[in-house]
Amino acid sequence: MSSSFRQLKLTPTSPGVALLDRDDSILAFNERVLDWACRKDVPLLERLRYLCIVSSNLDEFFEVRAEPHLAANQGKDEKGLFSVASFKRLADVAHTLVARQYALYNDDLMPALEKQGIKIVSHGDRNMAQRRWVKQYFEREVRPLLIPVGLDPSHPFPQVANKSLNFIVRLGGRDAFGRENEIAIVKVPRVLPRMIRMPDKVSGSSNFFVSLSSVIRAHLTELFPGRDVGQFSQFRVTRHSDLAVDEDDVKNLRTALRQGLQHRHFGQAVRLEVSAGCSEHLSDFLLKQFDLPEPALYRVPGPVNLVRLTQLIDLVHAPQLCFPSYKSCYPTQLAPGVSFFDQLKLGDVFIHQPFESFDGVLAFLREAVHDPQVLAIKQTIYRTGSDTELMDLLREAVRRGKEVTVVVELMARFDEEANINWAEMLESIGAQVLYGVVGLKTHAKMMLITRREGRQLKHYAHLSTGNYNLRTARLYTDWSHLTADTALAADVENVFIHLASHSRLPKLNRVLLAPFYLHSKLIQKINDLANVAASGGVGRIVAKMNALTDEAIIHALIRAGQKGVKVDLIVRGACILPAQVPGVTDNIHVRSVIGRFLEHSRVFYFRRDDVEELYLSSADWMNRNMMRRVELAWPVTDPVQRQRIIDEELVAYLHDGVDAWDLLPDGTYARVKPDGRRLAHGAQAALMVRYAGQVNGGGV
């Protein structure tokens, strides 16, 4: 089964090599996610959740990636990177993907849920008792918050926020002043729930719901007394939302971002969604109002925001329709009740999340906070979400008189406001808060504990491929590395000093740091293996990451493959390297694994004859990670732990026969087929089974 129904556009580069189109690759990734919503072996509510994930991903795609294409369509692109044709082609692909979503929603998922007693009851299907209850709910909870706006010269089109629910209505007759203003807009406040459970006494079921849009639609006429409500439609506009701050002209980045966040919800419109039955008169009016071309219009036969259906999943109690609950085990290398500092003196500890619990990292920080011999704690913050446990520990560390330094990345996309709030809170209680380097995002995940031991100060470090986020640590696959290694901890200390002082970075012992060395070192390692293979030796590269779009690395990989290096790439999302193209990339294989957990770890393996190197990293192989971010890659030197990571992170995924997709020469993806000789397995499922017997009191 192929994940794509069209050939991806190729972007000409050097002679004989054409790279795949990045935006096409992003949309192809969402087709692979949508496949989980189509799979009959996936529990029903989880299939609905994957459908919502695709919609959420598409929202972000339009918010971040659509603007340059739209600008090209409107003749605003000066660099010639995009064209009218590229905009229309991209829109065609997106329209087809959205059509598949709603066909699945209407023809498969909703009927299947109804068979399970879970139903969203439309106005036409409600009996009189249900209609009375909905009317009462509307009058009590909804109507007081709605202010319909009739458009006229003194009431221009209102500001419509990004991704908000709205209605457009065409009115007949005259208003109270005798005028024939025919268009009105009803903005729906975000504070209102999008899914409302009907009480058992009127529904006869605990799992009957009504949508907010249906409630409002059924009572639109009551919002316009004395007028005839004719055509109407719900609508939703997506706006460009990537914050742009002139970092060369900013004296206070935090203040500038605060100001920028106020305007984020009202950026340039890039997509318009309306009900499938919306009249051309109303849709044309909206397109003109938002200055959008016809391909930016999406007519959808259902809710204009499928993301909000996650509320339905949360409201339904049906464990049999969800994945069986999974309990992470406490990290297998750690002995509960034994001091981390004593354990780390015996050797490094690696935690494979979420199969092993992030609680091990929290316990490490907790011990450091309460240990009177710990003098200082340094940590980077990229995405912490709304969880407070980690922040509470840092606050407690300040209260106990420890030196707490936190590097907060204010420009973490869509987490800017949360990070500003955390930064202000920590600063207010006396922590040293830094914002990294202007112009570079601090994406590295690291923590450094400084402890007095006798007459010496000893460093302990934590490095990770993922964020300090308790929620995503249960959902994302990542590696945490706890170490007392003197050389590695010294590197971490020097990186913190560099971020704080902007002083020249000393030569590091183990760590490869972007934007300084990481990019060139990776290319050097690839080129070295190419030379080894060309001389008759064995060259092998296996790399796992979220995205591969850096052209310099890609061309190095292609050259290495052409000289005999065997290259396997496990790339979850966007990949613009064309694999298995005859005569060009025969030695390069690319696969994507989409599973129950989001694949997030970055692991890079290089083999030169019998010499192996393995690196963990915070960085994907993208130009932005290499050139515009502070990123780390660090080696795993313990041979036992290195083999463990190779087995669990690389070998397992290369042999995944259930959840993997292979990239074909034409740029499409095909789901792997079992070879029939052995029972197929999914890498994540196998790891869940492997760690299931390890569950103990420290699980999440």
Report the C-alpha dihedral over residues 515, 520, 526, 531, rounded to 10 degrees: -170
How crowded is residue 148: how many other Cβ atoms within 10 Å of its Cβ? 15
Give residues with Cβ within 8 angstroms of 154, minimum separation 6.
none
> 3-state DSSP call for residue 685?
helix
197-200 long-range CB contacts below 8 Å, 24 or more apart?
197/315, 198/121, 198/130, 198/133, 198/134, 199/133
Rounded to an integer, what distance in angstroms lies between the CA atom of residue 658 and that of residue 687? 14
Q: What is the DSSP code (8-state) at residue 19?
A: E
Cβ proximity of 276 and 301 under 8 Å: yes
Give residues with Cβ within 8 angstroms of 656, minimum separation 6.
591, 593, 672, 681, 682, 683
Closest CA to 463 of 354, 349, 303, 587: 349
Report the C-alpha dihedral over residues 167, 168, 173, 178, rounded to 10 degrees: 100
Closest CA to 418 of 445, 446, 392, 381: 381
Question: Which amino acid belongs to residue 236?
Answer: R
- Crossing angle for the helix pair 416-428 and 253-264, to the nearest 10 degrees: 140
Cβ proximity of 272 and 237 under 8 Å: yes
Closest CA to 162 of 192, 185, 190, 186: 190
Cβ proximity of 255 and 436 under 8 Å: no
Rounded to an integer, what distance in angstroms lies between the CA atom of residue 316 and that of residue 313? 5
- Give the length of the chain: 700
Q: Is residue 443 among the annotated active site residues?
A: yes
Closest CA to 364 of 345, 387, 339: 339
From the candidates 219, 443, 462, 498, which is the catalytic residue?
443
How crowded is residue 658: how many other Cβ atoms within 10 Å of its Cβ? 18
Cβ proximity of 664 and 670 under 8 Å: yes
HSE, side-chain direction, 13 A CA sphere, residue 105: 22
Cβ proximity of 357 and 329 under 8 Å: yes
**296: its two tokens:** 């930016």
Cβ burial of 337 (10 Å; 0-12, 13-18, 19+) is exposed
φ, ψ for residue 370 (rounded to 5)? -95, -10
**270: its two tokens:** 């890039």
Rounded to an integer, what distance in angstroms lies between the CA atom of residue 72 and that of residue 85? 9
Closest CA to 171 of 235, 229, 234: 229
Q: Is 164 left (phi over 0), alpha (psi -120 to 50) or beta?
A: beta
Closest CA to 109 of 100, 29, 204: 100
Rounded to an integer, what distance in angstroms lies between the CA atom of residue 341 and that of residue 318? 44
**Which residues does the annotation mark as catalytic?**
443
